Structure 1
Amino acid sequence: MYTLTDANDRAYPSPTPGRYGGHRRGKLYGRLDCPSALRALARGHYRAHRVFFADEATAIAAGYRPCAVCLPAAYAVWKANSGS
């Protein structure tokens, strides 16, 4: 069993792993192979706040933003829509 995060930012058990990882405190999500996330995981501080999502739509619905490193196109759309 895997623990994923739903659109309400609550954990739930899932028989399948998530396709995207996120950081609860930073409210961002990205690919599981994101170089930025892997560096943060290697430093050891990221893991305690790590969450997983089944898909991008769920991450966005939960209020997370796309990673600028591994999802640059999604980040550009988010940034344009958020006015940042």
Structure 2
Amino acid sequence: MQRIPLAEYAARRHALTASRLGMSQGALSKAIREGRSIFVLESDGGCISAVEEKPFPGQRRENAASSCPNSSPPGIKESAPEVPVQVSSTAQASR
């Protein structure tokens, strides 16, 4: 069984590769364009499947630091937006 990067395997044959993997050509092109870490596994019999490697536990490739708590710049205090709260009519009647 061979493991080949998707972009290399699909070079100049996106439509054929996409149909063999059971996906659209647009989805295949988008995965390659975004630089996703996808590898095609080709068996000795000619069957193919694809596997994607992702960082564990589910971190984004672009900026893993953005998902860390307390990652805002010093001096910046995050707060929830102020939303006006209306007292319900049942709570007003019990006053």
Q: TM-score range by the shorter chain?
A: under 0.3
Instruction: Give the TM-score normalised by structure 2.
Output: 0.24
Structure showing greater Rg: 2
Instruction: Give the TM-score normalised by structure 1.
Output: 0.26
Structure with higher strand content: 1
